[in-house]
Structure 1
């Protein structure tokens, strides 16, 4: 290599050419961009609705409910469970949990595909470990262990009491006279709730690729989030004897594909992996929990470990790294995309230069690992990720790359064709090549960041009959991400105008703590309802914009994915950019005050509620 010197550094010192890598990244991005963006996917609804049905729990018929509860929590994943648990601790007895699934668990209820596990260390991911007296069996827990922990929380905190499953809220309407929400569901319920907490999640609605001819395929198909063990046999641990004589195509090589492919490779007669964009695959290094380590834990250990992990990823100073895994080792590369927190002590241009060089080095190491593991050079080349580290959610596996060394596994790179070209009655077609298969499994993910409230599938009518979508016509409007003016006693758990982290359960835990504290204060003070003043809401919206870190240029250079709306989305500030640690500190300081921004006294009206705003009762 020549000694040419660039603005970055002498190339001989770097060991790579930054300009060449930038050009390679752009060319690989351009191979994959499709002009329709997110339009290339279809919802698992209508003619594809069978992809979204519950294959795990039989639906039980019941009579419609017309009763009243103090708090309705919509969503039985960890956000809803944590909220229910904290409400119980705060003394709330009349709490109803509701979910479209047949039990608690959220995304861990739906996703039971072979090899499923969490990619965040279980000791910081699974909430309420000390409270429930449980230590995970594995460093990175398998999905069933996580689902069972969700059930454990629900049982310990009495959340099955009054819970309703296989039930979807179809309408929320604020009744001004009773200061309650009227709740309609797809089971004919017409219940009432003083407070409603929406934690319906953003990783539950599966999406499918809009492949021409998908409806013509006469073989077997299913989405990974509704795994059909009746067809494959086996369990999440593998042993899928039903595939022993089957040619299988799996579509998608994101986090789900990384976990499912090794099991499919072992059990199928032949496996075709349909890849448009390879994931970065670093070492996972999973292992059973050390009994001696577990026995040495002292009270407060989980909170300390969670906060340490969050702080490292947010760029906070810590004495030592308690987790020491792939996430904490690459914390610097994650901050702009995940937490929003960046090193403001550096000039922005210098920070970007140093971050990019560190990014190049990390991705070069990950690409070199592909060559070390995969035997076939052509396959290895196709598996290399040519993009910045946080253009896609990083992947970790100790078995995925190794699967391509099996003679019954074929990697089909679809990048030059924008994905799968079409499907026929018995084949998947890429370009001019047909791959005859018996089964197609879609590992194509979910509608990320699109809850029912945001999409409009859960209509919300606030004061005067105004819809939440109308109020949010130009983007979310909240105070601290939790509640909006004109929609009393309605709370949201999400990353919108709130905080974010790779360990989102920690974020949900802080949100649950906050909501429980606000409702406890409302009860103590006899507040008529909880609703932010318009000025407080506007002030927070201004704060989100004023503190935002612009990552538009970064996203524009990324390969298409859900982070950048498949290459078509402009960046808009959605979370509190100073990061989750700063945000949680801000919330704690706010809670230490009088909460007058949101607590409205009995019989009082908010300052800008006018007399001509009519009750929405007639809509019910």
Structure 2
């Protein structure tokens, strides 16, 4: 049959899926469904509820361009981000299009019907004309690969699977990881632990966080369209300028990088005012190699040296009650918090399940055997009617992830709408535009410092396991323009023969008639 269960199936009801639903409705596409494995919407913000979770982008920019985010703080806490997701779903009429507790396990393209056949964990199946994985990149939790972790007899918890029923108060707590989640969890654990041990693998660049309350009227003022657009444009322009000047320009003038690095190191040492801590906490790699972080409490936490220990020796083994480091010390613990992030830029991390396109080729295998690219970060030749939102290569701009989600969703919905206007049942990006976009990404990567010696040892997710740039090396403006001014000439559009469509319509009518008898 060539009549699908749904015209569009979106996998995921995080912000990528929500943005896609909004844009599909704006294009007059109503036969779609959002399938979410969790018991609630919000994706990352539904799953991650650890103490101290908050956004590191101002709320006015960590929002969709068409819907203000009224928050209590300049950098809103996690529960307010979750509430914003719920607000979008209700305001734009998506609630009845969402199915919760549905785990997608794989898909296969049928070129004879121009349909995707989808499989789910419960054994059920669905078909759709267009498949939109909107899974984001912070999806697959990653535990530390340390021998013996399964033997630990105390409490083990990953930051994305926080156990709120457990009482952490008064416990000897160990935290592995000092990335974006770790720097938020660590100060909170220090407040309640009898002793906190932090195991640092890679230090991070940190800046003060100008987090102020804005629920005294500024939040209302920022809802005004003129002021709001002006502020968003200013932030976007500043981030684009930082990207171009701070990274691309430094890549073009490598002699300047050591001076910039030393200046940043000096500023951090002045901020810390503690040589022992500075020797451990100041990175050796250049600023800009990883996504920058902000906190006003993180550095202060380590000054409580009687209650907080910062360990930089390699973790060699975990026993039933301790973490053993390379110097032979056994750090005894009651709780082990794994702030170790997610499987990002590893083989098979996106979209995380097998997707078989033309000639039964699997997408992850294709990227592994060739190169990690997608046209505008969204679609790949050989996988017709497949659009990746916030989970494809070369799609994430080092900016607000919601901006990327909105841009990806707009490109996706417009490509589908273009196919509908032409009476097409299959849309696929051409090879040449795909190659041109990939070539641009490679050339810009080679001219950046991300791929150069100054970023060695940074353990950045900007670069994947194949040593290829995973993020999009362009400005937000470039992505915005490509989404809103879709180059339909970059795609091929095909329709099934009318006889096939007519036969499938007759079959569907017969089935409907049989069901009514």
Q: TM bucket by the smaller chain?
A: 0.7 to 0.9
> 1:113 deviation in Å?
0.7
Question: How far apart are the structure 2 equivalents of 1:269 and 1:147?
Answer: 31
Does residue 243 of structure 1 match 2:155?
Answer: no
Query: Once the two structures are superposed, what CA deviation does each residue of 1:302-354 show, in whole Å capped at 9, x if it has no partner?
Result: 44433332222222xxxxxxxxxxxxxx6567534xxxxx48xxxx76x3334
Does residue 409 of structure 1 match 2:335?
Answer: no
Give 1:384's aligned residue: 282
Does residue 214 of structure 1 match 2:139?
Answer: no
Give 2:432's aligned residue: 535
Question: How far apart are the structure 1 equivalents of 2:261 and 2:407?
Answer: 31
Give 1:161's aligned residue: 96
Give 2:514's aligned residue: none
Give 2:115's aligned residue: 180
Give 1:125's aligned residue: 62
Question: How far apart are the structure 2 equivalents of 1:270 and 1:81?
Answer: 41
The one of 383, 391, 399 aligned to 2:297: 399
TM-score (norm 2): 0.87
**Corresponding pairs, count:** 492
The one of 490, 494, 503 aligned to 1:597: 490
Question: How far apart are the structure 2 equivalents of 1:402 and 1:153?
Answer: 37
Within 5 Å, give how 1:72-471 maps onto structure 2: 72-127=9-64, 131=67, 134-232=69-167, 242-244=168-170, 246-289=171-214, 291-297=216-222, 298-315=224-241, 334-336=246-248, 342=249, 351-371=253-273, 377-406=275-304, 408-415=306-313, 419-430=314-325, 431-450=327-346, 454=350, 457-471=352-366
Gaps of 5+ in 2: 499-517
TM-score (norm 1): 0.73
Does the C-alpha gap of structure 1 residues 101 and 300 become closer, same or farther in structure 2, counting only changes over 3 Å? farther
Question: How far apart are the structure 2 equivalents of 1:507 and 1:420?
Answer: 36
RMSD of the TM alignment (CA)?
Answer: 2.9
> 1:93 deviation in Å?
1.7
Question: How far apart are the structure 1 equivalents of 2:78 and 2:490?
Answer: 41
Query: Once the two structures are superposed, what CA deviation does each residue of 1:370-396 show, in whole Å capped at 9, x if it has no partner?
Result: 11xx6xx53443233333112333221
* 1:379–1:411 CA contact under 8 A, matched in 2: no
Question: How far apart are the structure 2 equivalents of 1:469 and 1:404?
Answer: 42
* 1:195–1:489 CA contact under 8 A, matched in 2: yes
Query: Once the two structures are superposed, what CA deviation does each residue of 1:559-593 show, in whole Å capped at 9, x if it has no partner?
Result: 53431799x9674244553433234334444x2x5
Does the C-alpha gap of structure 1 residues 364 and 122 become closer, same or farther in structure 2, counting only changes over 3 Å? same
Give 1:475's aligned residue: 371
Give 1:524's aligned residue: 421
Question: How far apart are the structure 2 equivalents of 1:404 and 1:464?
Answer: 56
**SS in structure 2 of the partner of residue 229 of structure 1:** coil
* 2:182–2:339 CA contact under 8 A, matched in 1: yes
Give 2:459's aligned residue: 562
> 1:530 deviation in Å?
1.1
Gaps of 5+ in 1: 1-65, 233-241, 316-329, 337-341, 606-620
Question: How far apart are the structure 1 equivalents of 2:451 and 2:495?
Answer: 49
> 1:101 deviation in Å?
1.7
Question: How far apart are the structure 2 equivalents of 1:331 and 1:409?
Answer: 39
Question: How far apart are the structure 2 equivalents of 1:188 and 1:579?
Answer: 42
